[in-house]
Amino acid sequence: MSKPDPRTAPFGSLFTDFMAVAGFSNGQWSSPVLQATGPLSLHPAAHVLHYSSSCFEGFKAYRSPGGGAHVFRLDRHIERLRHSARLLVLPEPDAALLREMVLSLVDRVRAEVPEAPGALYLRPILFGTTPNVGAAAHPATEATLLVLASPVWDYFAGGAKPLRIQMEPASRTAPHLGVVKMGGNYAAALGPTLAARAQHKVDQVLFCPNGEVQETGAANFLLFRRNHVLTRSLDSTFLHGVTRDSLLTLARDMGYQVEERIVTVDETLEWVKSGEAALSGTAAVLSGVGTLIWQDQHHHVGDGQIGPVTQELRAALVAVQRGVVADKFGWLTRV
């Protein structure tokens, strides 16, 4: 039977035949195994189902130009999952364990890593499995760590379209949990995002509590001008994107002034009269914003099209990710 084609399948809807799995019980992790991707057996009292003890990661492996494959910023993503696990009081996997799971999985399914502009999207997930509905105020003592792999294509294969974004005075999540990559934060952002979509036909909501710009439901927010990048400084209220960090590193290296500090709504609306705005994240890399809506007023970002700095930084990052330029910062792990 021929497999569905990643070029035409919706992002994240196809999976490789194998996934990597490890379990935590009696205070230790089991040796990881590769097994057929398919349903799990889970007790209905599992901690995650009742008390949302779960976090995840998302990053990509690419087909290398000279053959083989490589993973982009694997160590950063491993550290972020461990940080999420600590903040949710889940058993924290050793970096070496998760690294082995990812690399052995990519090795096993290497024939399914799409060529550019596709990639293999990797999705580790960690969740509490202790069967005890009385454990509301207790951490899970048993957990599962698994890594799924999904062949994906370029988000913008049909051409990049400038995004319409609604700015909302609401918070995306509890202030101390924005930094955790957890499904509960997505559930919290879904209602406001659907309401905004229905109201103004926007693509995303940019959360701006207390008049300060935070991030959208699943991407970081950056402002650009010629030789200047401005974005919110790191704190616990939002997710510290690896794409964000990579773009800031490349921009500095290209001679841009990179400013990280609190950015207000007022300042953002002033900036976009002549500057650019974009969203960053693993799935779509860097997406230009064409319109910002604030208190029912539409504000064009520049001329409403995707600007030159957005295009330049996106191209620079994609070249490193695909391995077509030198890996100057040691971001690629060969498989």
d(CA 77, CA 197): 31
d(CA 83, CA 209): 24
The strand pair at 119-128 and 54-56 is best described as: antiparallel
Minimum distance, C-beta of residue 239 to ligand PLP, in the bound complex (Å): 3
Question: Which residue, 29 or 186, has its beta carbon nearer to ligand PLP?
Answer: 186
Interaction pattern, residues 250-269, with ligand PLP; x per rule: CB under 6 A: --------------------
CB 32 within 8 A of CB 20: yes
Question: Which residue, 24 or 98, has its beta carbon nearer to ligand PLP?
Answer: 98
Q: How many CA atoms lie within 13 A of 131 on its CB side?
A: 5
| Tokens read off for 185 | 């934060």
Question: Which residue, 129 or 216, has its beta carbon nearer to ligand PLP?
Answer: 216
- Binder of ligand PLP out of 243, 287, 310, 321 (CB under 6 A): 243
Where does the chain have alpha helices with state H? 47-51, 74-87, 95-108, 183-200, 242-253, 265-271, 308-322
Query: Among this protein's residues, is 161 annotated catalytic?
Result: no
Interaction pattern, residues 217-236, with ligand PLP; x per rule: CB under 6 A: -xxx----------------
Please report the DSSP string for 131-191 in residue order. B-TT-TTS--SSEEEEEEEEEE--TTTT----EEEEEESS-SS-TTTTTS--HHHHHHHHH
**Residue 84 is a binding residue for ligand PLP (CB under 6 A):** no
Question: Which residue, 105 or 218, has its beta carbon nearer to ligand PLP?
Answer: 218
Minimum distance, C-beta of residue 243 to ligand PLP, in the bound complex (Å): 3
Question: Which residue, 103 or 285, has its beta carbon nearer to ligand PLP?
Answer: 285
For ligand PLP, the binding residues in 272-301 under the rule CB under 6 A are 280-282
**Residue 163 is a binding residue for ligand PLP (CB under 6 A):** no
Report in angstroms the alpha-carbon separations of 228 from 63, 121, 259, 260: 32, 31, 8, 11
d(CA 251, CA 42): 46
Interaction pattern, residues 186-215, with ligand PLP; x per rule: CB under 6 A: -----------------------------x
**Residues acting as catalytic residues:** 181
Contacting positions for ligand PLP (CB under 6 A): 58, 181, 215, 218-220, 239, 241-244, 280-282
